Amino acid sequence: MRYPTSAKLFEIAKTIIPGGVNSPVRAFRNVGGDPFFVRRAKGSRIEDIDGKSYIDYIGTWGPAILGHAPMSVINAVHEAAKNGLSFGIPNVLEVEMAQMITSWVPSVEKVRMTNSGTEATMSAIRLARGYTKRDKIIKFDGCYHGHSDSLLVAAGSGALTHGEPDSAGVPAAFAAETIVLPFNDPAAVEAAFLQWEGQIAALILEPYPANAGLILPQPGFLSFLREITERNGTVLIFDEVMTGFRLGKAGVQGLEHIMPDLSCFGKVIGGGLPVGAFGGKAAIMDYLAPLGPVYQAGTLSGNPLAMVAGITQLHELEKAGAYEKLDEIGAYLQGGVEIILTQKGIPHRMNRVGSMFCLFFTDQEIINLDSVKTQDMALFRKLFWSMLDKGVYIAPSPYETGFLSLAHTREDIDYTLDALEKAVNEL
Ligand code: KE4
């Protein structure tokens, strides 16, 4: 079938899909201009319907850790599909996935599958509230946990007052139960626990926030959160939807040797198919229906195709050297970028952990959302379009994180660095 051009298709899409997209970030609003439409993807590359190909540094926002369309995953999904596409009945693949997650992540004694990261975090919050019989939750500015009402909340007018809706349609009463604090600010956390003593059900965070670019916790911050939540009977929830199984078999909690009470996962464990999961201490997880009073459900939760895609992907990641290879290719990219930008005298900070990275055009240390906002957005936008024109697709927003895969080669990185040098020279 002859596709129309991306421009034509976007015009059509906008007449029948709000903004022409099924998820806002895809509309390129943060960089201006219109998105391209993808035709196919393979390995480290994507091809648009106009026949142009790009080295892809987003990997469908995290799932494509092996690269796009890995044959191992495709074959496994193909075989599983012959046995049925969905059952709504317990199936062996759900047990196999649960066995892998609970054996890879020591803090997870029991786990439940969902169909998205949003469902996972929404369910974990409800579970923490049901378990503690408390209503308040703490989240951090700049952390994104999906779009459930309790988590689409911005910092209130006063740092310690209740949150305010961060989206139309979120009732003020819901937002009032969420306290939003600056990341990397132990004093603010201490003050919140003093002000709301005995009322805080959960504290949820991305342990390495990656939805405001990639922000890293200052030394001791995560262990401080573990201690203060323990002391206050508050459920500590690590949202590892992005970092889980990407930064190592046990994600950030494995790197930082911290045991949260609950964890949320997604992306990598679905191999590109719709998935989410939340899990943790059995004593808390057993509050979930049908055992306990906290209701949570999903027609397609644990569906066989997402399960077999994720299981296959995890098996590939447990092969010797997989995570080391991701870190090596990430270091190679970072080294090259740092040399070019330093030589050109462009102020920048590049945060990277393994195969996750983010480039900020600022000379400020990146410690929280306010520091992220000091970056030169106009420069980012110019470089985004210049790199796209040269066949390199980076995140269409300065508030997103880039991802490498096992399919990215040193030649891909060399091509990317050459494109960056040319783009910088054109500024
Ligand atoms: P989903 O509902 O999009 O599967 O997951 C929500 C979510 C939860 N927690 C974290 C840490 C996340 O990063 C996400 C989703 N990530 C974004 C990427 N920044 C999804 C991209 C999009 O919204 O289209």
CA angle, corner 203, sides to 198 and 206, nearest 5? 175
Q: How many whole angstroms separate alpha carbon 276 and alpha carbon 331?
A: 29
pLDDT digits (tens, 9 = 90+) for 390-420: 999 999 999 999 999 999 999 999 999 999 9
pLDDT digits (tens, 9 = 90+) for 228-254: 999 999 999 999 999 999 999 999 999
User: Does ligand 1 have an atom closer than 6 angstroms to the CB of 157?
Assistant: no
> In the prediction, which pLDDT does 1 show?
52
Contact between 370 and 360 (Cβ < 8 Å): no
> In the prediction, which pLDDT does 2 show?
63
Residue with the bigger pLDDT between 270 and 165: it is: 270
Q: Which residues are catalytic?
A: 144, 239, 267
Mean pLDDT of 11-40: 96
pLDDT digits (tens, 9 = 90+) for 350-369: 999 999 999 999 999 999 99
Q: Which CATH class is domain 71-318?
A: alpha beta
**Where do the CATH 3.90.1150.10 domains begin and end in the chain?**
1-56
Contact between 211 and 139 (Cβ < 8 Å): no
**Where do the CATH 3.40.640.10 domains begin and end in the chain?**
71-318
Mean pLDDT of 99-116: 98
The token pair at 410 is 């040193």
Q: How many whole angstroms separate alpha carbon 208 and alpha carbon 214?
A: 7
> In the prediction, which pLDDT does 236 show?
99
Provide, rounded to the nearest whole percent, the portion of the chain with pLDDT above 90: 96
Alpha-carbon torsion 339, 341, 346, 348, what sign? negative
Q: Which CATH class is domain 1-56?
A: alpha beta
User: Does ligand 1 have an atom closer than 6 angstroms to the CB of 266?
Assistant: yes
User: Does ligand 1 have an atom closer than 6 angstroms to the CB of 265?
Assistant: no
Q: How many whole angstroms separate alpha carbon 102 and alpha carbon 161?
A: 37
Q: How many whole angstroms separate alpha carbon 285 and alpha carbon 129?
A: 12
Q: How many whole angstroms separate alpha carbon 400 and alpha carbon 25?
A: 9
Distance from Cα 61 to the centre of ligand 1, integer Å: 8
